[in-house]
Amino acid sequence: MEKKLVNKITIVGCGPGSKKHITGLAMQRIKNADSLIGSRRLLELFGDIEADKYMVNRNYKLLIMRIISLSKRKKVVVLVSGDPGFFSYSKLIIDKVGVENCEIIPGISSVQLAFASIGKTWSDACFVSLHGRKSEFPTLIKMVKERKKVAVLTDKATNLKLVYKGLMSEGIRDRMVYVCEDLSLKTERIRCFKLTSIQRVQVRGLNVIIILDEES
Ligand SMILES: C[S@@+](CC[C@H](N)C(=O)[O-])C[C@H]1O[C@@H](n2cnc3c(N)ncnc32)[C@H](O)[C@@H]1O
């Protein structure tokens, strides 16, 4: 763990993607930043902000060292999508530098917006991320067998088709599936299907999938 840093590293939850969903405090921190660190998508969202910009890609572990070194001279803001506490880069940073060296600004998570969009509660849901984590597939199957409401983060490789195949091969059929795509963006699309009918459904972009049993 690092000793006390000169400037705390601010980790900002940027919400699901549209500027309308960014909180006032998050926007304030972003405007005051000397350096912004984030994915291409998030850096483009703040293209008008005058700050040094560093893109996160596969270099994310090395980038933490850069972030620590920058924070000695600059106000560093790390942009993460949705909420920092929900499957994000923030955990790696906090584990490395210690929570006392971080300021964490919450954001609206993609799952919050997904549940709001379909008008369902999420206090009774459970969550699994397949985003870059194919190994979590057995967890998904277990959750769907045991729980009535499961929200899944997917990516290009671990997508709706894979979820369909996995559930059907386990004999799970009686579920409704909400596919919440590109939430808050111009391409947003929210659709509901019976699990048995999603084989040919095409998806694009970012997706939260909500799997409900028939009675939920
Ligand atoms: C690394 S996780 C980050 C989750 C984020 N911390 C949150 O709270 O939403 C990225 C995944 O979140 C989901 N996601 C993020 N933004 C989304 C959006 N606008 N619409 C649908 N899903 C989204 C997708 O499943 C994507 O693969």
* Substitution candidate for ligand 1 out of 39, 79, 206, 211 with most atoms within 8 A of CB: 206
Q: Looking at the CA of residue 85, tell me the nearest atom of ligand 1.
A: 6
Q: Ligand 1: distance of its center to the CA of 127 in Å?
A: 12
Q: For the packed helices 90-97 and 60-70, what is the interaxial angle rounded to 10 degrees?
A: 50
- In this structure, the answer to whether residues 32 and 82 fall within a common structural domain is yes
The residue whose C-alpha atom lies closest to atom 7 belonging to ligand 1 is: 82
Q: Compute the chain's Rg from CA coordinates.
A: 19
Asked if residue 148 belongs to a domain, the reply is yes
Query: What is the extent of the structural domain holding 54?
Result: 9-108
Q: Which two structure tokens, joined as six digits, stand for 112?
A: 């919050």
The CATH number of residue 22's host domain is 3.40.1010.10
DSSP 82: B
- In this structure, the answer to whether residues 79 and 124 fall within a common structural domain is no
Domain boundary at 108, 126, 143, which? 108
- In this structure, the answer to whether residues 93 and 21 fall within a common structural domain is yes
Q: From first to last of the 216 residues of the chain, give the pLDDT tens digit.
A: 667 877 999 999 999 999 999 999 999 999 999 999 999 999 999 999 999 999 998 888 889 999 999 999 999 999 999 999 999 999 999 999 999 999 999 999 999 999 999 999 999 999 999 998 989 999 999 999 999 999 999 998 889 999 999 999 999 999 999 999 999 999 999 999 999 999 999 999 999 999 999 765
Q: Looking at the CA of residue 153, tell me the nearest atom of ligand 1.
A: 25
Asked if residue 19 belongs to a domain, the reply is yes
Longest dimension (CA), the chain: 57
Asked if residue 2 belongs to a domain, the reply is no
- Name the pTM for this structure: 0.94
Q: Residue 51 — φ and ψ, nearest 5°? A: -150, 155
* Substitution candidate for ligand 1 out of 153, 158, 184 with most atoms within 8 A of CB: 153
Domain boundary at 55, 83, 108, which? 108
Say what the pLDDT of residue 14 is: 98
Residue 177 burial class via C-beta count within 10 angstroms: exposed 0-12, middle 13-18, buried 19 and up: buried
Q: Residue 141 — φ and ψ, nearest 5°? A: -60, -45
Q: Looking at the CA of residue 80, tell me the nearest atom of ligand 1.
A: 6
Task: Write out the DSSP string of 190-210.
Answer: EEEEEGGG-TT----S-EEEE
Say what the pLDDT of residue 57 is: 87
- In this structure, the answer to whether residues 208 and 115 fall within a common structural domain is yes
- In this structure, the answer to whether residues 184 and 147 fall within a common structural domain is yes
Q: What is the three-class DSSP state of 30? A: helix
Overall number of domains in the chain: 2
Cα separation, 137 vs 36, in Å, equals: 33
Domain boundary at 83, 108, 133, which? 108
Q: Which two structure tokens, joined as six digits, stand for 91?
A: 């955990």
- In this structure, the answer to whether residues 144 and 159 fall within a common structural domain is yes
Q: Ligand 1: distance of its center to the CA of 111 in Å?
A: 8
Q: What is the three-class DSSP state of 11? A: strand
Asked if residue 88 belongs to a domain, the reply is yes
